[in-house]
Amino acid sequence: LIKQSTKRMKFLLDLLLLLPLLIVCCLESFVKLFIPKRRKSVAGEIVLITGAGHGIGRLTAYEFAKLKGKLVLWDINKHGLEETAAKCKGLGAKVYTFVVDCSNREDIYSSAKKVKAEIGDVSILVNNAGVVYTSDLFATQDAQIEKTFEVNVLAHFWTTKAFISAMMKNNHGHIVTVASAGGHVSVPFLLAYCSSKFAAVGFHKALTDELAALQITGVKTTCLCPNFINTGFIKNPSTSKSIYFRGQCLNLSILNKKTLTGV
């Protein structure tokens, strides 16, 4: 009986300690609901977006262009890059384009050097470039697996290493990692892609923790993990037939709103 009484008392004490915390959390949520946090201005910020020639990268560039950011657009597809740049210029943004192969570390480093010399220090980096091959493990070529990791993961290391030093020095910047729901839930016939996106999510988490450990409070991080998107990859007949996926594709406009909110 004494033991039961002691347990009950401990439970009541724990509950009493928890109640104030719950009240504070509820009040904080209530305040945020009616008084949302003021969005920071990105006007004049140098925003670098990889994979800007189509899809998520292209529409993200459009949104930053509307906010008067100074855009640095990277893509391996020159034609797609020029189309994105033309629209961004029409929205009033200053735009610089670089044809960059994000599977090539030296190309990334040399292009980053040009950006810093000709334009300035990047303060918002959107690691968006990605590739996807849809086939089973044995049908996926070794070179395709390597390229998936080079673009979807390793490129994040190289771009971040190239630009984060200035952000840390100024205690100001933002790193955006475009991952995928496939970085949390695996999908058959997307083995290489999902594995690379799990790694991208891990990169984001580890980078966030490292910045916190270094007490770099002004450099923020955001990780996007959307469902499959209505881009050229998913619309391609050979891709869509191969994907063992029955969910609804996410609209790009919804994702871009989330991206800008996160930044």
CATH number of the domain at 75, please: 3.40.50.720
CB 61 within 8 A of CB 83: no
Round to whole Å and give the CA distance between 215 and 48: 24
Going by C-alpha positions, the residue among 82, 77, 120 that lies closest to residue 102 is: 77
Same domain, 106 and 231: yes
Same domain, 204 and 252: yes
What is the domain count for the chain? 2
Same domain, 208 and 182: yes
Residues with Cβ within 8 Å of 126's Cβ and at least 6 positions away in sequence, in order, are 47, 48, 49, 50, 57, 60, 176, 178, 259
Find the domain containing 27 and state its range.
1-37
Same domain, 183 and 256: yes
Same domain, 146 and 166: yes
CB 163 within 8 A of CB 122: yes
pLDDT tens-digit profile of 120-162? 999 999 999 999 999 999 999 999 999 999 999 999 999 999 9
Same domain, 53 and 146: yes
Q: Which pLDDT belongs to residue 205? A: 98
Same domain, 28 and 95: no
Residue whose entry in the numeric block shows the structure tokens 């030093």: 165
Task: List the beta bridge partners of residue 99.
Answer: 75
Round to whole Å and give the CA distance between 120 and 40: 20
Same domain, 69 and 31: no
Same domain, 17 and 47: no
Q: Which pLDDT belongs to residue 244? A: 46
Q: Which pLDDT belongs to residue 255? A: 57
Round to whole Å and give the CA distance between 209 and 235: 36
Q: What is the DSSP letter of 134?
A: -
Same domain, 98 and 112: yes
Residues of the chain with pLDDT under 50: 234-246
How much is the pTM?
0.79
Same domain, 5 and 104: no
Round to whole Å and give the CA distance between 148 and 217: 32
The residues annotated with a catalytic role in the active site are 193
> Beta strand 46-50 with 124-127: parallel, antiparallel or unpaired?
parallel
* Paired tokens of 114: 């040009």
Same domain, 3 and 111: no
Task: List the beta bridge partners of residue 127.
Answer: 177
